[in-house]
Amino acid sequence: MTLAPEVDRGVLAAVRATRRRRRIDTVATAASAGWLILLAVLTLVSIATPLLDPYYQDFLGAKLEPSLAHPFGTDGNGRDVFARTVAGAQNSLVVAVITLGVGAVGGTLIGVAAGYFRGALDNVIGFLIDAVLAIPALLLIITIVSFRGPSITSIGTTIGLLMIPAFARVTRSIALTVRERDYVKAAVLIDTPTPRILVRAVLPAVAPALVSYAFTAMTAAIVAEGSLSFLGYGLAAPAPSWGGIIAEGRSDLATAPWITLAPALALAATVMAITTIGERAKERYS
């Protein structure tokens, strides 16, 4: 870019400051993407090769400090914490994706229907959402997981069901405003079938908010799964998940802090990476 030669120094400084801010943004996004890619690669290695076996126990090598052989050390059962963290990522992320799928699809369907059709349907949906929100979430999860067993799908769908109200609220408020837009009225006047109006006019308008909220929801799902596993209502042992590994390492926190630290840092980094990328996505859309 060329600026007129008479541009004063204050303006140049301001221009530079803007560019610096953008550069920091770019670096943060690249780092976040890098972390997620690394996670994905390691997960693939863990699935495809026997190099990272989360279940291999070496009873002679319990609670080993981090070393070249065991970068994150070993846990109380002599299992490699690095391998378990990588395997945990896989489980945690699959749960998060199922959660997101159930929450986003269910919430959008309900929210868009309530916002677009309003009337009695809106009232009924509003009441149901309030009812769901009135039940303590933890109680509900624990009950469902106890009945259905702690599998990846049951945990994922349960947390997902609990996320439906939030998604429904976000999408409903947008559908409410979109239905008043002139282009929707115009679509009605030219006899566009309602399903087509919903798909071509309302959904695309809902999408940006949906995507940016999805990132937030995804991090919430990861944390929720972690908390559940920590409380003992997550995946059944010995299957690794971040929350579960953290819980297992809790008793050894004083003597072998790496058992807890590695999955905790991985969880934190993942949440931050997703949030950063989500922010960028939000900027891009708006």
Distance CA 75, CA 86 (A): 14
Nearer to another protein, 207 or 277 (CB): 207
The answer to whether 51 touches 87, Cβ cutoff 8 Å, is: no
The residue whose two tokens read 């702690």 is 150
Tell me if residue 69 falls in helix, strand or coil: coil
- Would you state the torsion angle of the CA atoms of residues 127, 203, 163, 237, taken in this order, to the nearest 10 degrees? 150
Contact code string over 147-186 relative to another protein, x by CB under 8 A? ----------------------------------xxx-xx
Nearer to another protein, 7 or 47 (CB): 7
Distance CA 213, CA 107 (A): 12
Least separation in angstroms between residue 132's CB and another protein is 28
Nearer to another protein, 11 or 236 (CB): 11
Structural tokens at position 142: 């624990």
Nearer to another protein, 50 or 193 (CB): 193
Query: Is residue 8 near another protein by the rule CB under 8 A?
Result: yes
Of the candidates 93, 38, 55, 265, the residue with the CA atom closest to the CA atom of residue 257: 265
Stretch touching another protein by CB under 8 A, among 10-18, 56-64, 148-156, 251-259: 10-18
Say which DSSP state 252 is in.
G
CA quadruple 15, 19, 20, 25: dihedral sign: positive
Stretch touching another protein by CB under 8 A, among 12-20, 98-106, 108-116, 157-165: 12-20
The residue whose two tokens read 């058992």 is 259
Contact code string over 200-239 relative to another protein, x by CB under 8 A? xx--xx----------------------------------
Least separation in angstroms between residue 216's CB and another protein is 23
Count of residues near another protein by CB under 8 A: 28
Nearer to another protein, 189 or 254 (CB): 189
The residue whose two tokens read 């990522």 is 89
Q: Which residues of 137-169 are buried (b: 16+ CB within 10 A; e: fewer)?
A: eeeebbebbeeeebebebbbbbbbbbbbbbbbb
Q: Which residues of 270-282 are buried (b: 16+ CB within 10 A; e: fewer)?
A: bbebbebbbbbbb
Query: Is residue 15 near another protein by the rule CB under 8 A?
Result: yes
Nearer to another protein, 14 or 47 (CB): 14
Nearer to another protein, 10 or 50 (CB): 10
- According to DSSP, the residues that pair with 80 across neighbouring strands are 74
Distance CA 97, CA 34 (A): 19
Contact code string over 188-207 relative to another protein, x by CB under 8 A? xxxxxx------xx--xx--
Query: Is residue 19 near another protein by the rule CB under 8 A?
Result: yes
Distance CA 79, CA 248 (A): 12
Residues of this chain, 124-153, that bind another protein according to CB under 8 A: none
Least separation in angstroms between residue 92's CB and another protein is 35
Contact footprint for another protein (CB under 8 A): 1, 3-4, 6-8, 11, 14-15, 18-19, 22, 181-183, 185-193, 200-201, 204-205
